[in-house]
Amino acid sequence: MSAGLTTHVLDTSREGPAAGVDITLQRLESTGTPETVARGTTNNDGRLDEPLLTAPEMETGTYQLLFEVGEYYREEGSESTFLETVPVQFVIDDPEEHYHVPLLLSPGGYTTYRGS
């Protein structure tokens, strides 16, 4: 797979993809100030229709994904709204590589990792 940044969200409590989750990608400046560089909403497969960053847009630096899961659970009729926004900070140290950051989500917790 070519360089770029992708993500997807799986709802482990429903054993499937999480559709309709709003995602914001921010680049953190050296001062820690976030700059929004991309936004998207997960489709029925829990993925974005386009990469958050394409190969030409990849730059080294510290980034943050913000997953707006509170609204997702409220729209799904969940009784639990413990999580509102899930932040995932990570570093792109080789812009020639592909970075995939999945989020495994449940009403009370989450897990993430660097996927392939």
Q: Tell whether pTM > 0.95.
A: no
Pairing mode, strands 22-28 and 61-68: antiparallel
Inside any domain, residue 92:
yes
Inside any domain, residue 22:
yes
Inside any domain, residue 103:
yes
Structural domains in the chain (count): 1
Residue 1 has a pLDDT of 61
Render the chain in DSSP notation, one character per residue.
--SEEEEEEEETTTTEE-TT-EEEEEEEPTTS-EEEEEEEE--TTSB-SS-SEEGGG--SEEEEEEEEHHHHHHHTT-S----SEEEEEEEE--TTSEEEEEEEEETTEEEE--B-
Q: What's the CATH code of the domain at 78?
A: 2.60.40.180
Selected residue with higher pLDDT from 116 and 9: 9
Residue 31 has a pLDDT of 87
Q: What is the pLDDT of residues 68-113, one digit of tens each?
A: 999 999 888 877 678 999 999 999 999 999 999 999 999 889 999 9
Inside any domain, residue 71:
yes
Inside any domain, residue 116:
no
Inside any domain, residue 115:
no
Inside any domain, residue 45:
yes
Q: Which of 36, 31, 40 lies closest to 64 in space, CA to CA?
A: 36
Domain that holds residue 69: 4-110
Q: In angstroms, rounded to a whole number, what is the distance separating the alpha carbons of residues 49 and 38?
A: 13
